[in-house]
Homo-oligomer: A and B are copies of this chain.
Amino acid sequence: MLTIILADTELETMPERMVDDYAIRKIAKKSGKRSGEMLLDSNYMHTAIERSFPGESTRRGRPDIVHTFLLTSLESILNRSGNLRILVHTRNDRVISFSPSVRIPRAYNRFTGLVEDLFRKGKIVSGNETLMSVEDKSLRNLVDSFGEARKILLWPKADQRPMHTVIDSGKDLLCVIGGFAGGDFITDTGFIEEKISIYPEELTVWTVSGEIIAQYERALKLV
């Protein structure tokens, strides 16, 4: 089993400080939502984020990154074959778990609506199955819960190694990837000893996860 933790994602409901911002109230009114229950989204709230969190408007509020990551990883052959577990950790130490059979909406507005629903209810259920659930947990506690499994942090500043030398068997593996657009982890990741980089330049989140999944599929001889 390959487990991927997308860490420090910028997925959060409206921060307290922004709930009464006039632009946020306007967006809430237009969409018929409560402003405190909306996801922070830099694509639509860039200026408002800058007003409340100067200098942070390109980093914060990026559900789009998580969306593309989920569309690619959960639609992979590795996931279809039952060998992938996906966990999304947020900047506020919340952890979202996904059933391998969850179908992520293709349309972005439906995806953000689903996550808002999840944050409100704690889980998304269909019939007897929990498709998504969220709990409060630090990255450290989450990673530690995997006990003795091999753990790797993907980190652009680490020494570069060819992917096929890193993953050469189908043994249980936990990979932690940063789920943000630029800059570095805000959570301390020093406790993960094995750190690697797979390319001389920074890659998008879903390129890194895609490369890991592709290599693990090969280790399992699925493709």
Residues on A facing B (Cβ under 8 Å): 43, 64-65, 68, 71-72, 75-77, 80, 106-110, 162-164, 198-199, 201, 203-204, 206-207, 210-211, 214-215, 218, 223
Contact = CB atoms under 8 A, between A and B. Distances in A.
A164 B218 contact: yes
A203 B71 contact: no
Contacts of A198: 77, 223
Nearest to A107: B43
Contact of A76 (B64, B110, B207): B207
Contact of A71 (B68, B80, B162): B68
Nearest to A210: B210
Contact of A201 (B80, B162, B199, B206): B80
Would you call the interface of chain A mostly helix, strand, loop, or mixed?
helix
A207 B106 contact: no
A206 B107 contact: no
Contacts of A43: 106-107, 109-110
In the complex, which of the residues A164, A199, A223 has the most CB atoms of chain B within 10 Å of its own CB atom? A223
Contact of A106 (B64, B77, B107, B163): B64
Give the copy number: 2
Nearest to A77: B199
A223 B211 contact: yes
Given A68-B71, A106-B65, A214-B214, A203 B164 contact: no
A214 B65 CA distance: 21
Contacts of A108: 64, 107-108
A199 B75 CA distance: 12
Contacts of A71: 68, 204, 206
A162 B223 contact: yes
A80 B198 CA distance: 13
Nearest to A198: B223
Contact of A72 (B72, B80, B163, B199): B72
Contacts of A65: 106
Given A163-B223, A198-B223, A203 B77 contact: yes
A206 B64 contact: no
A102 to B, nearest CB: 14
